[in-house]
Amino acid sequence: MSKIQAAITGVHGYVPEKILSNKDLESIVDTSDDWITRRTGIKERRILAKDKPTSFMAIKACEGLLSKTNTKPEEIDLVLCATMTPDMLTPSVSNIISKELNIRNAFAFDIQAACSGFLYTMITAEKFIISGQCKKVLVVGADKMSYITNYNDRTTCILFGDGAGAILMEPNLEGYGIKDSILRSDSEHGLDLLKIEAGGSKNPCSHETIDQEKHYIKQEGRNVYKYAVEEMFGASKEIMNRNNITSDDLAYLIPHQANERILESVAEKLKLPKEKVMITINKYGNTTAATLPLCLWDYESKLTKGDNLVFTVFGAGFTWGAAYVKWAY
């Protein structure tokens, strides 16, 4: 009997209509279009309206996905959403998606691994599929980063945008789908360099935490940059080596979109030409859990059945990883 693998059989994305350009940011904080572009590669990012939650974008992405794959809500067995900006602590965004899309035969839960969230969630979905428990899994990455971004902090407000992407995953017996994966974390070095200090049970919301701006994301950019390059390269190289994949064999590297200079450094270390690296950060910024599916959505028409793809991520925690996928359509 052929080995069951979990394949991506459809992808769709959603980004808000509102564009926040570098020129717009020049009027908000002490920065410039040239400075942002040279250091990050970002030209603009999308911003969701204040009265709309993360689930709004996630539902839009899933609606488009179900429509284009001719999938009925009752066919879905599992809904997983990667997010660090849920609508509320409970119920989960996955449960809200299920309610709004009339998905009644599935179980649902969220996964929080910051910028690594989508890859963690995709590999979690794979395990349910290869076990035989699930046939159709909806995997979503969605974040409203504008909600936790301090627009008085020029080191972080230039980076983040809002967006959502979704993929459908199904069993495959033809050798397509997820072939291998590596997931890692390092809490020893990651806890203090990239974090949101308040809003949890350790430091609940209060007038003091709000006044001290402790509900916004903060990072030590230089240290995070160093770890991101090192770990994304290391995980990508390891997954390629153990599957005998060279840069010539690879159709695309699909990296988390944190900073274009990070992407360039990782590609250079892997000896990959820039045209083999999916890049969307210039127009979406860092959408955290949504970056990988938005890459797939943007590049979908360029993908061919059998293409070798390597996903790689790095996020708060620290969390990171890589996956080798053979494209299924």
Q: Residues 95, 256, 259, 295: which is the catalytic one? A: 256
Question: Which structure tokens are listed for 206?
Answer: 């209060």
* Dist. CA 230–CA 324, nearest whole Å: 18
- The residue from 22, 95, 172, 286 that is catalytic is 286
In this structure, the strands spanning 44-46 and 107-111 are unpaired
**DSSP letters spanning 75-106:** G--EEEEE-SS-SSSSS-HHHHHHHHTT--S-
Task: Specify the DSSP class assigned to residue 299.
Answer: H
Q: Is 286 a catalytic residue?
A: yes
Pairing mode, strands 162-172 and 137-144: antiparallel
Residue 171 contacts residue 141 (beta carbons within 8 Å): no
Q: Which of 12, 22, 62, 115 is catalytic?
A: 115
CA–CA gap between residue 190 and residue 195 (Å, rounded): 9
Query: Positive or negative, the Cα torsion across 269, 217, 32, 165?
Result: positive
Active site residue 256: yes
The C-alpha torsion from 63 through 68 and 73 to 75, rounded to 10°, is: -150
Catalytic residues: 115, 256, 286
